[in-house]
């Protein structure tokens, strides 16, 4: 499965560069960051120990307030950049 994901990533990266949607440096950085994130999360969610299935009828987890705050901060920053860039 991992080999297929890497082939899909390389294919998408090459297609975006050929279609002139991104610079090649952007796509190279995307591959490096993807590799880093996959490796960083391996100790949190090891492939050898998949997460157990939820019991039927279990309520969903409540969103963590810190995660919601980080999302709000990121969206506010993006809004300032977009609105400020149009002035």
- Could you give the percent of the chain with pLDDT greater than 90? 18
Distance CA 72, CA 64 (A): 13
**32: in domain:** yes
Residues 44 and 37 sit within 8 Å (Cβ to Cβ): no
pTM of the model: 0.42
> How far is the CA of 81 from the CAs of 8, 16, 26, 32, 74, in angstroms?
32, 25, 20, 26, 11
**6: in domain:** yes
Could you report the per-residue pLDDT of 31-58, keeping only the tens digit for each?
Answer: 888 888 888 887 777 878 888 888 999 9
| Number of domains forming the structure of the chain | 1
Structure tokens at 87: 């002035």
What is the domain extent for residue 43? 2-50+60-85
How sure is the predictor about 76, in pLDDT bands with cuts at 50, 70 and 90? very high
**10: in domain:** yes
How sure is the predictor about 87, in pLDDT bands with cuts at 50, 70 and 90? low
**64: in domain:** yes
**55: in domain:** no
């Amino acid at each position: 499965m991992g080999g297929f994901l890497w082939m899909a990533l390389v294919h998408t990266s090459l297609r975006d560069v050929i279609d002139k949607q991104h610079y090649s440096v952007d796509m190279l950085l995307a591959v490096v960051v993807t590799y880093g994130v996959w490796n960083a999360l391996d100790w949190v969610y090891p492939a050898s120990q998949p997460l157990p299935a939820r019991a039927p009828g279990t309520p969903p987890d409540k969103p963590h307030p810190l995660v919601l705050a980080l999302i709000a901060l990121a969206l506010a920053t993006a809004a300032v950049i977009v609105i400020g860039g149009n002035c």
